[in-house]
Structures are given as C-alpha cells and as structure tokens.
Structure 1
Amino acid sequence: RRRRSVNKVGIFVNMANHYEIPKWAGKPHVGLHLDVAKGEKLVQKLMIDEKKCYLFGRNPQLNDFCIDHASCSRVHSALVYHKHLNIAFLVDLGSTHGTYIGNIRLESSKPTQLPINSTFHFGASTRMYTLRERPQTAPKPVMEELERMTEDSDGGLLGLPETETELD
C-alpha cells in the first residue's frame, strides 16, 4: 500500500510502501526457511520462523531481506504465514517486474499460496528462493534396530533358532 504526502511546495510525493500485515498472519513453525540458489549453487539460507511477515526488496532500510537487482522494486514482495492454515503466502506489492512462483507471475496485491519446496524469484533476478521446512527427525539407524531385534529374540541371530547359526 502506498502513502502519499505533500512536500513543502504542495506536490504529492510517494512515500515508501508499507505493507499492512493481514489479521490472519501468524508466526510460522520453527525451522521454516528459504534456500537461496544462484544457478545450481546454494548461496544462502534465510530463516523465516521468527515473524508473521517478511518483506523483500532493494531498499535495505525497509525490508527484511535485500534483493540487490535493478529489476526489483524498493519494496517488492511480502512472505506472510497463515496462522490457521499453516501455509505461507507470497504477495507481490505492485512491483513493475513481478514476483514469480515457478514461472507464473503473481497477481499484484493478491496473497498466493506458497507450498513447501516451491521455488520463487523476483523480477529478472536469477536468484531462486525455495521454501523449506526443518527436516523431520530421521528414523532410528539400522544398527540400533538390529540390536533391539537381537535382544528381543533371546540370543538367536535375527529370528533363527539358537541351534542354527547359519543359513543353508
């Protein structure tokens, strides 16, 4: 949303974009982050699990994450987490060169669902942002599981009778 004010000579001046965070916004779960890649190389990991909304754009004073590319607006886009749906949404804030999920350009000012593992970018920038969750706890290692099975089988080898220690 743009605010305008009148300068000393009575001319309207556009002030910086100030995005009004929706009432449905809430803090995301711990570990939500963006993997930032340039080409095939991962160049950055941005944690986005502390606030309801993160702003992206060229102006470092107005944004959470600065996009250093000429095709990006001063305040280009917002990433907002929905507290009830537990889904991230991406909002283009009226940028000239657009915000894209994959290669689909977002409609200006319309929150668009951003599924986990989806990739987005701003304007003509080649940096790609991929929404990621913290990996879930891995299953028990195989050796621990084998040890447990061995203990449960009264000393036999993985279910073989104690008198047989080899397979035919």
Structure 2
Amino acid sequence: MPQSRSPKKEVKDKDVPKPNFALSGKLVAETNSYNGVVLKYFEPPEARKPTKRWRLYVFKGDKEIDILHIHRQSAYLFGRERKVADIPIDHPSCSSQHAVLQFRQITTTDDESGEKLSEIKPYIIDLDSTNKTFVNNNPIPPSRYYELKASDTIKFGFSSRDYVLIHDELDDGNP
C-alpha cells in the first residue's frame, strides 16, 4: 500500500528566521550593568557637564541637612541601590533606581537673528518609579525628560526630603 505524503510546503526567505547574534540572557545583563546591577538608564548623546555651578540643597522640614555639588558630571542617579546611585535615597517609598538628573545641551534658533544658540540645561527623568518623582509638588511623567529651572524643588516618592536646585549666578542676584 502506498504511503500518503503530505504536500511539500514551499519555504520562502521571509519564513526562515534570521540568525540573531546579539547578546542575550546573562551576557546582556553584564553589558548593561555596573557593579553587578543592571542599569535602567543610559545617557543620551546630548549629555554634557554643566557650565554653571549647580547645587542641590537638601532640606528635611525647615532644616537644611546637606548641599550636593552637582556640576562635576553630566548625570546623577537617585535611588536606594547604593552600588549604582550617585545620590542615595534611603526612603522605602523610593525605587532602587528612582530618577536621574541629566544635564543636556539644547540647541535653539534665535527668533530675531536666526542664530543657533546652545545651552546646557538640567532635566530630570523618572525611571518608571513606583511612587513617582515630583517637581514643585507636581508629579512628572515617567520616562520623559522634564526641564528643571533654578529654585525648583524635587521630591522622590513619599520621602520628607526636599531637594532645591540652585546655581552660583543666583547667589550674585543674576538669573
């Protein structure tokens, strides 16, 4: 008795999976990590060290408890994970990698002269934290850069600490 064969299926190039030589599993974790911790954030190409001498004044209630000089690098990671956080936050409502303060070079065009103007500005980005990041008591959208202005107050989760952003030119009375 002849065996019945199923009809042969014609294989097309688009049906054949292409080989994937990208890193996977533990190898990916190792390349996107620091001190054994997988990082949630990478700096954008427009990241720059600030030209102004920015500081964060840390308050708990009405009492100033610290001054953080944040003009020495282009980004600062806030979070509970001390292995990777530039500025540790120990409050239990904060995520291990909560937010990043990122200095970015922004180029605009002057309306009057048409000249290109370049300025390094501070931004904050919430890294999909559980309990949000607040600027002037308003929650900011997650995973999006939010421009900061001098004298803005930043809060993380339900922490009672306030971080007030200031730069040297404000001390002199200049904007």
Tell me the TM-score normalised to structure 2 length: 0.68
TM-superposition CA deviations, 1:13-43 (whole Å, max 9, x none): xx63331101111101242110000001110
- Mark the CA change 1:44 to 1:92 in structure 2 (over 3 Å): closer, same or farther: same
The one of 60, 80, 86 aligned to 1:58: 80
Distance (whole Å) between structure 2 residues aligned to residue 80 and residue 137 of structure 1: 22
- Tell me, which stretches of 5 or more residues in structure 1 are unaligned? 7-14, 140-168
| Structure 2 equivalent of residue 123 of structure 1 | 157
Distance (whole Å) between structure 1 residues aligned to residue 65 and residue 104 of structure 2: 27
Distance (whole Å) between structure 1 residues aligned to residue 172 and residue 42 of structure 2: 39
Residue correspondences, number: 129
Aligned partners of 1:58 and 1:69 also within 8 Å = yes
**Alignment of 1:77 onto 2:77:** no
- Mark the CA change 1:89 to 1:137 in structure 2 (over 3 Å): closer, same or farther: closer
- Tell me, which stretches of 5 or more residues in structure 2 are unaligned? 1-23, 27-36, 107-118
Tell me the CA shift for residue 137 of structure 1: 7.6
Tell me the CA shift for residue 135 of structure 1: 4.4
Tell me the TM-score normalised to structure 1 length: 0.71
| Structure 2 equivalent of residue 165 of structure 1 | none
Higher relative contact order (CA 8 A, sep 6+): 2
* 1:39-118 alignment, distance < 5 Å: 39-84=61-106, 85-118=119-152
| Structure 1 equivalent of residue 40 of structure 2 | 18
**Alignment of 1:32 onto 2:54:** yes
| Structure 2 equivalent of residue 5 of structure 1 | 25
TM-superposition CA deviations, 1:77-101 (whole Å, max 9, x none): 0000122332100000010000000
Bigger share in strand: 2
TM-superposition CA deviations, 1:121-156 (whole Å, max 9, x none): 0000010001110146859xxxxxxxxxxxxxxxxx
Aligned partners of 2:40 and 2:127 also within 8 Å = no
TM-superposition CA deviations, 1:49-73 (whole Å, max 9, x none): 0111110000111110100100000
Alignment RMSD, CA only? Answer: 2.1
Distance (whole Å) between structure 1 residues aligned to residue 80 and residue 166 of structure 2: 23
